[in-house]
């Protein structure tokens, strides 16, 4: 039985704080509970009808002073608990100046992490013991919540905005991160391994990756560099300079992290959320002195690309010189790529591979190996030939014809895929 | 006797068009208990799935089970359970009236409730729904399941709730018998009145929210869906603006029942009548200002978290006043442990645990760890089942002889109470530790470290089921074989005990006049 209620490890700077208050409330509760239930039990035994006749009870309407005293004591007690909880929570809110910043994107049903040097991990997070770590998180689909019980930290991961979470891991070891906000079919399998390494081991892990990467197909471009490429590819530089000269829109030299005056009064801190909002809804908050001319980039930038633009803009404030462009990058695609090759990339980019394998193994959804041109049985009877039309329809309206034996789970990609991307995906699937 | 009782009057067809508040109440009672049974079957399936860490059913099936369990229990059982069933029967009788203020509206409310319930339940046939009872956007917008049917069902049932609340408010104001000043009203009436106010004020907000959700799904208007420029957090604000006060719609009537039962079975004037009455209103008022505590980790502003944490802490004060007063009522009483009293005392026991564990969740830093874990599941069930449902059982046994004119079996009543009390604690107490250790809620599969406590909880759910089956079996048996009940088997002083058992259609032969309060027990010095 003791093992059933074993203590959870305290593996972050916040764990002892949370546990301390938890224990305090626990003992306050235990004492209050035994006072109330003890009184109740004592009265029931002492004044049971066997011992006390029905017509012998005194007439008592109440006692104001006891009532008031009890309420006053309780009020003070709950205010103490409130203040204690609030003061600890404030520490969770404000991260130190210098942190290891990792971008997290939650997707049904996995976690993507991206490090400042461009290293990417799936369903895994590696952090150094004793260092301050800050996660900047967003979701590609529905609300998730990043939760590491051993660290006592949790933060919802919301589509359309960035949320932040910081902590200092204090104990080397392996821990589990859960998704704590219900997100559908595989919610309970949306886990990530969290490895806390000694600082030296972490540095080795972090740096050595470049050697590994050059040997494999790894992508050495840093998020800042990727951001610069997006900035050029989407022609942001047509209106925004990075050298301090205003053009159609404001320049971004040393603007990130500062307060920007707004048209119509007020000001706003230029942070992740303001950059994202300005990309998606540029007309909401206009910089003072500039025309409301910017078009929306909704649907044209992935969450990852937004992260990269943020990293780039941030770097313009750090005074860090932008690194030299790398020869290879996957952001600006050459024309020589075939439709099928593009499709293969989209297959990963849109996480089709999270549910569909290409090797014939059954997963959440059917494998897509050699299915083109075959007849597939449908849920509720009948069958359908896998044609270009059917593949396209399954992307846009997946619930229409569900293959027998699989759950009706696939989300619609109607708003997420362009005509071009659908074509490429269909072409790729045909050839699997 | 020349006067027939309300059950005999008119034959079986009269039930469908009856304007008698008691018949409507009895129909609500059996309908909501039926939904309680269905919701209970789903909860048993949930516990069965969680017997092992791996998936027993397909995961999407599990997700539908917990959604149905939550939606059915909340919208079709707990919300209408006490007010619309027991409140309907006893509000008019306890204030010395013949019926509610608007009998036709009352029948209309019942049929609206049935229509909404059927609409929502039809989702079971049309593929089910897997959003959880909270319908969080944007998942509820993206899922391919029958969200629209269930939300429209809840929308329709909301109108039934609003109309019932309106009816009760007017009835309480206008139909009290001569002499019944507000401070001579039984505390059950105060509780029902406070509940009715919340029903009328809060329910329209959920109606709008659910309607917006349906529009979002059908027309993609872009209010909650971030990919259309909406804000998913806005949905949570709307949803909890209703659903938090709704928690008090569920618990306040239960508190009313406990106040009645404890006074009667200890032959004492209730301790601190006005304190209990006004704490009901205070809870109803504060309940509108605490919704944000469901969103401490949603990313809402720190300032909001500050306010919602401090306001939530305030709820502890009126709640504790009530618990203190009930316990103090026992002092120097003459206590007899009949089944209703066993349930009322269990209520104090369980609700105290439910209330105290709320402190953990109201403290922001601790909530960061416990949010969306089994700790919340346990806390919620201690309040809603340990509180409301246990109070409903107290009321059911207490008023059973009055409604049906037959005594329930005291032996079966006590045995089933024992199984329910032990089974409930066995099921839900382990969940506090599960949550403490980080087990997230709504997981079809889980890490092996949680297996022991989950097994204990599942075993508990079976013990609980044995108790429930025994209790309902015993009650049904008593309808046919129970001893004939006298008019006032418990020696109660409130007005319903001055009627026949079962009451006649008009309740009273002549409208009574009140000279003293409802709890005049004991020897005045």
Q: Output the pLDDT for position A237.
A: 83
- The answer to whether B214 and B156 have CB atoms below 8 angstroms apart is no
Instruction: Dig out the tokens for A130 from the structure.
Output: 């004793």
Lowest mean pLDDT of B126-130, B192-196, B417-421, name the range: B126-130
End-to-end CA distance of chain A: 53
pLDDT in tens, B44-80: 999 999 999 998 888 789 999 999 999 999 999 999 9
State whether ipTM is beyond 0.95.
no
The CATH fold of domain B12-498: Cytochrome C Oxidase; Chain A (1.20.210)
Q: Output the pLDDT for position B158.
A: 94
- The answer to whether A276 and A269 have CB atoms below 8 angstroms apart is no
**B481: number of CA atoms within 13 Å, CB side?**
6
Contact A143 B438 (CB under 8 A): no
Query: For residues A128 and A378, what is the distance between their CA atoms, to the nearest angstrom?
Result: 50
The three-point CA angle B421-B427-B433 to 5° equals 120
Query: For residues A248 and A231, what is the distance between their CA atoms, to the nearest angstrom?
Result: 15
Instruction: Dig out the tokens for B512 from the structure.
Output: 């009574």
Contact B136 A182 (CB under 8 A): yes
Judged by a CB distance cut-off of 8 A, whether residue A404 touches chain B is no
pLDDT in tens, A360-391: 777 778 888 888 888 888 887 788 888 888 88
pLDDT in tens, A158-173: 998 999 999 999 999 9
Q: Percentage of chain B with pLDDT > 70?
A: 99
Q: Would you kindly state where each structural domain of chain B is located, as residue ranges? A: 12-498
| Distance in Å, alpha carbon of A241 to nearest chain B alpha carbon | 27
Q: Output the pLDDT for position A208.
A: 79
Q: Output the pLDDT for position B475.
A: 96
| Distance in Å, alpha carbon of B111 to nearest chain A alpha carbon | 34
3-state secondary structure chain A: CHHHHCCCCCCECHHHHHHHHHHHHHHHHHHHHHHHHHHHHHHHHHCECCCCCHHHCECCCCCHHHHHHHHHHHHHHHHHHHHHHHHHHHHHHCCCCCCEEEEEEEECCEEEEECCCCCEEECEEEEECCCCEEEEEEECCCCEEEEEHHHCEEEEECECCCEEEEECECCCEEEEEEECCCCCCCHHHCCEEEEEECHHHHHHHHHHHHHHHHHCCCCCCCHHHHHHHHHHHCCHHHCCCCCCCCCCCCCCCCCCCCEEEECCCCEEECCHHHHHHHHHCCCCCCECCCCCCCCCCCCCCCHHHHHHHHHHHHHHHHCCCCCCCCCCCCCCCCCCCCHHHHHHHHHHHCCHHHCCCCCCCCCCCCCCCCCCCCEEEECCCCEEECCHHHHHHHHHCCCCCCECCCCCCCCCCCCCCCHHHHHHHHHHHHCC
pLDDT (mean) for B195-208: 92
**In this structure, what are the phi and psi dihedrals at residue B349, rounded to the nearest 5 degrees?**
-60, -55
| Distance in Å, alpha carbon of A368 to nearest chain B alpha carbon | 21
Test the B interface: residue of A1, A89, A303, A379 with most B CBs within 10 Å: A89
* CB < 8 Å to B521, chain A: 57, 59
Contact A62 B273 (CB under 8 A): yes
| Distance in Å, alpha carbon of A348 to nearest chain B alpha carbon | 20
3-state secondary structure at position B363: coil
- The answer to whether A399 and A422 have CB atoms below 8 angstroms apart is no
Q: Output the pLDDT for position A315.
A: 84
* CB < 8 Å to B330, chain A: 39-40, 43-44, 47
pLDDT (mean) for B210-215: 92
State the helix-helix crossing angle for B451-481 and B21-49, rounded to 10 degrees.
150
**Considering Cα of B495, then B500, then B502, then B505, what sign does the dihedral take?**
negative
| Distance in Å, alpha carbon of A203 to nearest chain B alpha carbon | 30
Between residues A410 and A40, the one the model is more confident about? A40
Judged by a CB distance cut-off of 8 A, whether residue A60 touches chain B is yes
Query: Given A4, A18, A84, which is nearest B369 (Cβ)?
Result: A18
Residue whose entry in the numeric block shows the structure tokens 């319903």 = B496
Nearest to A311 by CA among A269, A257, A251: A257
Q: Is the pLDDT confidence value at A207 over 50?
A: yes
pLDDT in tens, B134-184: 999 899 998 888 899 999 999 999 999 999 999 999 999 999 999 999 999
**Considering Cα of A78, then A81, then A83, then A86, what sign does the dihedral take?**
negative
Residue whose entry in the numeric block shows the structure tokens 């309607």 = B211
pLDDT tier for residue A199 given thresholds of 50, 70 and 90:
very high
pLDDT tier for residue B317 given thresholds of 50, 70 and 90:
very high
Contact A32 B130 (CB under 8 A): no
Judged by a CB distance cut-off of 8 A, whether residue A71 touches chain B is yes
pLDDT tier for residue A11 given thresholds of 50, 70 and 90:
very high
* CB < 8 Å to B337, chain A: 44, 48
Query: For residues A381 and B263, what is the distance between their CA atoms, to the nearest angstrom?
Result: 63
Nearest to A263 by CA among A275, A280, A249: A249
Query: Given A47, A62, A92, which is nearest B365 (Cβ)?
Result: A92
A48 - beta bridge partners?
A: B335
pLDDT in tens, B333-365: 999 999 999 999 999 999 999 999 999 999 999
- The answer to whether A242 and A252 have CB atoms below 8 angstroms apart is yes
pLDDT in tens, B231-289: 999 999 999 998 999 998 899 999 999 999 999 999 999 999 999 999 988 998 998 99
3-state secondary structure at position B440: strand
Contact A78 B359 (CB under 8 A): yes
pLDDT (mean) for B28-47: 96
Q: Residue B272: which H helix or E strand, with range? A: none
Judged by a CB distance cut-off of 8 A, whether residue A354 touches chain B is no
| Closest chain B residue to A151, measured at CA | B369
CA distances from A164 to A91, A136, B105, B299 (A): 13, 5, 51, 8
Q: Output the pLDDT for position A218.
A: 52
A114 - beta bridge partners?
A: A103, A120
Q: Output the pLDDT for position B77.
A: 95
| Distance in Å, alpha carbon of A431 to nearest chain B alpha carbon | 29
Between residues A353 and B502, the one the model is more confident about? B502
Q: Output the pLDDT for position A336.
A: 56
**B283: number of CA atoms within 13 Å, CB side?**
29
pLDDT in tens, B475-485: 999 999 999 99
| Distance in Å, alpha carbon of B31 to nearest chain A alpha carbon | 31
Query: For residues B169 and B175, what is the distance between their CA atoms, to the nearest angstrom?
Result: 10
**In this structure, what are the phi and psi dihedrals at residue B416, rounded to the nearest 5 degrees?**
-65, -35
Query: For residues B268 and A314, what is the distance between their CA atoms, to the nearest angstrom?
Result: 71
pTM of the model: 0.84
Instruction: Dig out the tokens for B316 from the structure.
Output: 């502890």
Pairing of strands A259-261, A267-269: antiparallel
Query: For residues B119 and B77, what is the distance between their CA atoms, to the nearest angstrom?
Result: 15
Q: Using the 8-state DSSP alphabet, how is residue B301 labeled?
A: -
pLDDT tier for residue B2 given thresholds of 50, 70 and 90:
low
Nearest to B265 by CA among B345, B184, B189: B345
pLDDT in tens, A292-339: 888 888 878 888 888 888 888 888 887 443 333 333 333 333 345 778
Lowest mean pLDDT of A87-101, A232-246, B230-244, B420-434, name the range: A232-246
Instruction: Kindly report the average pLDDT of chain A as a whole number.
Output: 85
Q: Is the pLDDT confidence value at A235 over 60?
A: yes
- Where would I find the beta strands (DSSP E) of B276-364? none
Query: Given B335, B364, B367, which is nearest A48 (Cβ)?
Result: B335
**In this structure, what are the phi and psi dihedrals at residue B521, rounded to the nearest 5 degrees?**
-100, 160
Nearest to A408 by CA among A421, A422, A394, A420: A394
Contact A158 B232 (CB under 8 A): yes
């Amino acid at each position: 039985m003791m093992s059933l209620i074993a203590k959870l490890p305290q593996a972050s700077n916040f764990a002892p704080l949370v546990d301390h208050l938890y224990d305090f409330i626990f003992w306050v509760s235990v004492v209050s509970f035994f006072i109330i239930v003890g009184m109740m039990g004592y009265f029931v035994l002492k004044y049971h009808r066997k011992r006390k006749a029905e017509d012998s009870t005194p007439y008592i309407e109440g006692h104001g002073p006891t009532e008031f005293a009890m309420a006053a004591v309780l009020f003070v007690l709950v205010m103490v608990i409130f203040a204690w909880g609030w003061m600890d929570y404030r520490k969770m809110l404000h991260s130190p100046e210098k942190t290891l910043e990792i971008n997290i994107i939650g997707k049904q049903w996995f976690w993507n992490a991206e490090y400042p040097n461009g290293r990417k991990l799936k369903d895994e997070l590696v952090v150094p013991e004793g260092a301050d770590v800050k996660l900047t998180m967003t979701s590609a689909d529905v609300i998730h919540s990043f939760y590491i019980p051993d660290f006592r930290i949790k933060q919802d991961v919301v589509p359309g905005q960035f949320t932040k979470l910081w902590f200092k891991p204090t104990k080397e070891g392996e821990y589990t991160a859960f998704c704590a906000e219900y997100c559908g079919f595989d919610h309970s399998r949306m886990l990530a391994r969290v490895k806390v390494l000694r600082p030296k081991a972490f540095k080795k892990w972090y740096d050595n990756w470049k050697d590994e990467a050059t040997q494999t197909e790894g992508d050495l471009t840093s998020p800042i560099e990727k951001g610069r490429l997006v900035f050029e590819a989407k022609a942001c530089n047509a209106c925004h300079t990075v050298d301090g000269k205003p053009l159609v829109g404001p320049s971004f030299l040393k603007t990130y992290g500062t307060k920007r005056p707004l048209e119509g009064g007020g000001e706003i801190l230029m942070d992740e959320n303001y950059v994202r909002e300005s990309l998606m809804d540029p007309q909401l908050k206009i910089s003072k002195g500039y025309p409301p001319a910017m078009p929306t980039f909704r649907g044209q930038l992935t969450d990852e690309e937004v992260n990269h633009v943020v990293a780039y803009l941030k770097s313009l404030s750090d005074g860090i010189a932008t690194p030299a462009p790398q020869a290879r990058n996957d952001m600006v695609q050459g024309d020589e790529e075939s439709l099928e090759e593009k499709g293969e990339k989209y297959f990963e980019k849109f996480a089709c591979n999270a549910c569909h394998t290409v090797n014939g193994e059954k997963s959440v959804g059917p494998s897509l190996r050699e299915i083109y041109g075959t007849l597939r049985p449908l849920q509720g009877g009948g069958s359908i030939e896998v044609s270009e039309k059917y593949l396209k329809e399954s992307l846009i309206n997946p619930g229409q014809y569900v293959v027998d034996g699989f759950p009706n789970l696939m989300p619609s990609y109607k708003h997420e895929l362009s005509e071009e991307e659908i074509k490429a995906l269909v072409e790729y699937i045909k050839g699997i | 006797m020349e006067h027939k009782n309300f059950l005999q009057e008119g034959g079986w067809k009269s039930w469908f068009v009856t304007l008698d508040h008691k018949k409507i109440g009895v129909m609500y009672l059996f309908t909501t208990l039926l939904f309680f049974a269905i919701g209970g079957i789903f909860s048993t399936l949930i516990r069965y799935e969680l017997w092992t860490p791996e998936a027993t059913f397909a995961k999407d099936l599990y997700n539908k089970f917990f959604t149905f369990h939550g939606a059915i229990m909340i919208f079709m059982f707990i919300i209408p359970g006490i007010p619309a069933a027991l409140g309907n029967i006893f509000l008019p009788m306890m204030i010395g009236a013949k019926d509610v203020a608007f009998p036709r509206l009352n029948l209309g409310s019942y049929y609206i409730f049935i229509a909404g319930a059927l609409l929502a339940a039809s989702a079971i046939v049309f593929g089910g729904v897997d959003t959880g009872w909270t319908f969080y956007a944007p998942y509820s917008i993206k899922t391919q399941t029958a969200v629209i049917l269930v939300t429209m069902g809840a929308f329709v049932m909301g109108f039934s709730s609003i109309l019932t609340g309106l009816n009760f408010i007017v009835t309480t104001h206008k139909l009290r018998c001569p002499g019944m000043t507000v401070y001579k009203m039984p505390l059950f009436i105060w509780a029902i009145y406070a509940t009715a106010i919340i029903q009328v004020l809060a329910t329209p907000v959920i109606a709008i929210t659910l309607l917006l959700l349906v529009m979002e799904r059908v027309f993609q208007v872009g209010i909650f869906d971030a990919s259309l420029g909406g804000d998913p957090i806005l949905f949570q604000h709307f949803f909890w603006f209703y659903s938090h006060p709704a928690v008090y719609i569920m618990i306040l009537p239960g508190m009313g029942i406990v106040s009645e039962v404890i006074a009667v079975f200890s032959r004492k004037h209730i301790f601190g009548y006005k304190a209990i009455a006004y704490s009901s209103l205070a809870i109803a008022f504060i309940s509108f200002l605490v919704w944000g505590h469901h969103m401490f980790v949603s990313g809402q502003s720190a300032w909001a978290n500050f306010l919602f944490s401090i306001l939530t802490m305030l709820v502890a004060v009126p709640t504790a006043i009530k618990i203190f007063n009930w316990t103090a009522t026992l002092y120097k009483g003459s206590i007899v442990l009949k089944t209703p009293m066993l349930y009322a005392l269990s209520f104090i026991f369980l609700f105290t645990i439910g209330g105290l564990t709320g402190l953990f969740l109201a403290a922001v830093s601790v909530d960061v760890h416990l949010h969306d874990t089994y700790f919340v599941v346990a806390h919620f069930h201690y309040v809603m089942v340990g509180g409301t449902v246990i109070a409903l059982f107290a009321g059911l046994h207490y008023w059973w002889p009055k409604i049906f004119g037959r005594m329930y079996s005291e032996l079966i009543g006590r045995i089933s109470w024992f199984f329910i009390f032990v089974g409930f604690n066995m099921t839900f107490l382990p969940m506090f530790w599960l949550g403490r250790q980080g087990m997230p809620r709504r997981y079809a599969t889980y890490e092996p470290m949680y297996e022991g406590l989950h097994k204990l909880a599942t075993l508990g759910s079976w013990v609980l089921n044995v108790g429930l089956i025994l209790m309902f079996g015993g009650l049904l048996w008593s309808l046919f074989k129970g001893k004939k009940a006298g008019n006032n088997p418990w020696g109660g002083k409130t007005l319903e005990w001055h009627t026949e058992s079962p009451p006649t259609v008009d309740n009273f032969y002549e409208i009574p006049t009140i000279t003293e309060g409802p709890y005049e027990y004991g020897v005045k010095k």
